């Protein structure tokens, strides 16, 4: 399953890149991510709790940063093991940042695979969930930069 998307943030590319590679900030933009633990600068563990209608899911995530080319490319591999269900989600996400006048264009491409019982939910359901999470992520990311821009400089 491939998920493509684009987010625009009114901030310089370098600032956006720095924010995105800051794991704690990144996690704070995704609803339901907690227990983020840094193993080393390229490896993290976390827990994701999310809902699809009346179904609640809890995933143990292992995140590996596999490519970092400041200030334009970030590539990560994520492996999610759902708690209580047989299955696994593996995903590789490639993020490219480009400056567009006073905005940074974030283009991302996620290649995800589902195995086990999770697959019985079907790709369209998870694609719809991914789109919902993208909207939320974009809102929080933009809000964070708006806040930074509006803060008085000392």
- Quick check: helix, strand or coil at residue 123? helix
- Quick check: helix, strand or coil at residue 148? helix
Stretch in the footprint of other proteins (CB under 8 A) among 20-28, 42-50, 124-132, 137-145: 124-132
d(CA 151, CA 58): 36
Residue 84 CB, shortest distance to other proteins, in Å, is 5
Angle, alpha carbons 99-90-112 (nearest 5°): 55
Q: Are 110 and 7 in contact (CB under 8 A)?
A: no
One of 24, 37, 42, 86 touching other proteins (CB under 8 A): 86
Residue 120 CB, shortest distance to other proteins, in Å, is 5
One of 2, 4, 84, 151 touching other proteins (CB under 8 A): 84
115 binds other proteins (CB under 8 A): no
52 binds other proteins (CB under 8 A): yes
Stretch in the footprint of other proteins (CB under 8 A) among 26-34, 72-80, 88-96, 121-129: 121-129
Binding-site size, other proteins (CB under 8 A): 18
The CA distances from residue 60 to 86, 88, 90, 147, in Å, are 13, 10, 12, 31
85 binds other proteins (CB under 8 A): yes
Q: Are 60 and 36 in contact (CB under 8 A)?
A: no
121 binds other proteins (CB under 8 A): yes
d(CA 149, CA 151): 6
Residue 46 CB, shortest distance to other proteins, in Å, is 21
Residues in contact with other proteins by the rule CB under 8 A? 51-56, 84-86, 117-118, 120-121, 123-125, 127-128
């Amino acid at each position: 399953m491939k998920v493509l998307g684009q987010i625009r943030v009114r901030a310089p590319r370098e600032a956006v890149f720095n924010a995105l590679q800051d794991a704690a900030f990144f996690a704070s933009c995704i609803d339901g991510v907690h227990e983020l633990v840094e193993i080393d600068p390229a490896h993290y563990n976390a827990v994701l709790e999310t809902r699809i209608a009346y179904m609640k899911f809890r995933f143990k995530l292992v995140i590996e940063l596999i490519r970092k080319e400041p200030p334009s490319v970030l590539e990560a591999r994520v492996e999610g093991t759902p708690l209580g269900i047989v299955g696994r989600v593996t995903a590789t996400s490639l993020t490219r940042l480009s400056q567009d006048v006073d905005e940074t264009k974030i283009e991302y491409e996620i290649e995800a695979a589902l195995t086990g019982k999770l697959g019985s939910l079907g790709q369209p359901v998870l694609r719809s969930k991914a789109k919902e999470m993208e909207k939320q992520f974009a809102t929080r990311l933009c809000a964070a930069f708006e806040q930074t821009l509006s803060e008085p400089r000392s």
